[in-house]
């Protein structure tokens, strides 16, 4: 199993009340933490793209952030988690150009994740015709995702005439670095999206697999479906990522538990459901601006038992992570979440020293092997 690190510039109001420059501080701290993650052995670094989502995510220009990281990293794969290819948000041709440019700047270390936006508020900021209808993005994404391979492989892209956008023939430049193109991914929230992604040969960034019980069946359905994939890219990316947003690891178990309980998780979850109205919503949750309460010890232990939180000392973390490995997860994604920079740095260090070396023993990225194998077949 491989390991990834994701950050999204979470800037809650409480941090701004203490520090007028909190937004800048978080962005710079997140950049440092990405470099620390590479040094610790995390194979992938992922950056989100969100627009207008105050507090929840201030990382709107992730392509700029990724370009800066490209010049400071050498081994980690850098991924868009996600780039939004809906034409009114980011024109597909410009997305294809950015992906290819980042592929050059990283010399083949870029991973291309796409998605359709966090929910109604974000989507309608660009697509006002979809206000109150976030599912209206699906046919737009469906007709767009198949065009990227053509843009990268055709010397002159032959153009497109669809329901949501059109383009006359044009050369799309640059082409990706070397042979082939970056691995393609899809950010999934609802369970049917996992099978849909598998049928298209896409790896999945799983942001809704919050318990092992829920994840087990979805992972099985993804792995069953991808066997018969008709890939939208040049190769099948048979990879499923589980994003573990609730994690707190420290040298001392009791300290890790205290930091988890004091981390403002209830407020963060309130932000998640404030904006992600396309995510499955558990019954009985308060509706913003009412807040989800912070977990108590019993709830924390329940989350640990269910697999939705990784909390404790390095030994605890290893045993909890092994449960995801046994389920067939290809990559476990650790998020900064609500942690301070110091707490997140400690988590990264301990994962690198005690967990990653025991579970990720292959020095080559899985997507690198897939891209190379596809290029060899094509040759």
Percent of the chain topping pLDDT 90: 94
Predicted confidence (pLDDT) per residue in 57-98, tens digit: 999 999 999 999 999 999 999 999 999 999 999 999 999 999
Residue with tokens 């897939």: 370
Give the whole-angstrom CA distance, residue 163 versus residue 54: 32
Cβ-Cβ contacts under 8 Å for 102 (sequence gap 6 or more): 63, 66, 67, 70, 78, 110, 182
Virtual torsion, Cα 100, 173, 68, 88, nearest 10 deg: -90
What pLDDT is recorded for position 91?
A: 98
- Mean pLDDT over each residue of the chain, to the nearest integer: 96
> Is 165 in contact with 94 (CB distance < 8 Å)?
no
> Is 266 in contact with 293 (CB distance < 8 Å)?
yes
Predicted confidence (pLDDT) per residue in 197-218, tens digit: 999 999 999 998 889 999 999 9
* CATH of region 2-378, choose from 3.90.1150.10, 3.40.50.10490, 3.40.50.300, 3.20.20.30: 3.20.20.30
Q: Is 80 exceeded by the pLDDT of residue 42?
A: yes
What pLDDT is recorded for position 98?
A: 98
């Amino acid at each position: 199993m491989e390991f990834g690190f994701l950050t999204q510039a979470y800037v809650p109001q409480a941090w701004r009340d203490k520090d007028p420059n909190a937004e800048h501080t978080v962005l710079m701290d997140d950049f440092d933490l990405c470099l620390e993650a590479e040094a610790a052995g995390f194979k992938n670094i992922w950056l989100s793209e969100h627009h207008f989502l105050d507090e929840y995510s201030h990382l709107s220009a992730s392509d700029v952030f990724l370009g800066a990281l490209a010049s400071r990293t050498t081994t980690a794969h850098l991924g868009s988690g996600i780039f939004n290819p809906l034409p009114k948000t980011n024109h597909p041709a410009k997305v294809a150009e950015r992906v290819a440019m980042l592929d050059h700047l990283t010399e083949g270390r870029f991973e291309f994740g796409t998605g359709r936006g966090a929910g109604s508020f974000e989507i309608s900021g660009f697509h006002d015709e979809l206000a109150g209808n976030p599912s209206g993005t699906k046919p737009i994404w469906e007709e767009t995702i198949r065009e990227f391979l053509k843009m990268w492989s055709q010397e002159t892209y032959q153009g497109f005439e669809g329901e949501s956008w059109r383009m006359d023939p044009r050369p799309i430049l640059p082409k990706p670095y070397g042979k082939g193109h970056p691995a393609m991914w899809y950010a999934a929230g609802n369970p049917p999206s996992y099978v849909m992604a598998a049928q298209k040969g896409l790896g999945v960034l799983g942001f809704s697999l919050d318990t092992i019980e829920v994840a087990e069946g979805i992972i099985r359905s993804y792995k069953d479906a991808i066997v018969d994939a008709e890939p939208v890219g040049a190769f099948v990316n048979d990879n499923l990522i589980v994003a573990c947003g609730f994690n707190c690891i420290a040298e001392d178990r009791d300290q890790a538990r205290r930091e988890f309980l004091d981390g403002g998780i209830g407020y963060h979850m309130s932000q998640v459901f404030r904006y992600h109205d396309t995510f499955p919503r558990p019954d009985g949750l308060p509706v913003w601006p009412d807040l989800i309460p912070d977990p108590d010890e019993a709830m924390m232990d329940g989350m640990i038992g269910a697999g939705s939180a990784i909390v404790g000392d390095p030994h605890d973390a290893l045993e909890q992570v092994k449960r995801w490995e046994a389920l067939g997860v290809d990559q476990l994604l650790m998020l900064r979440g609500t942690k301070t920079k110091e707490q997140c740095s400690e988590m990264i260090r301990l994962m690198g020293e005690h967990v990653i070396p025991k579970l990720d023993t292959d020095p080559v990225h899985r997507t690198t092997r897939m891209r190379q194998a596809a290029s060899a077949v094509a040759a």
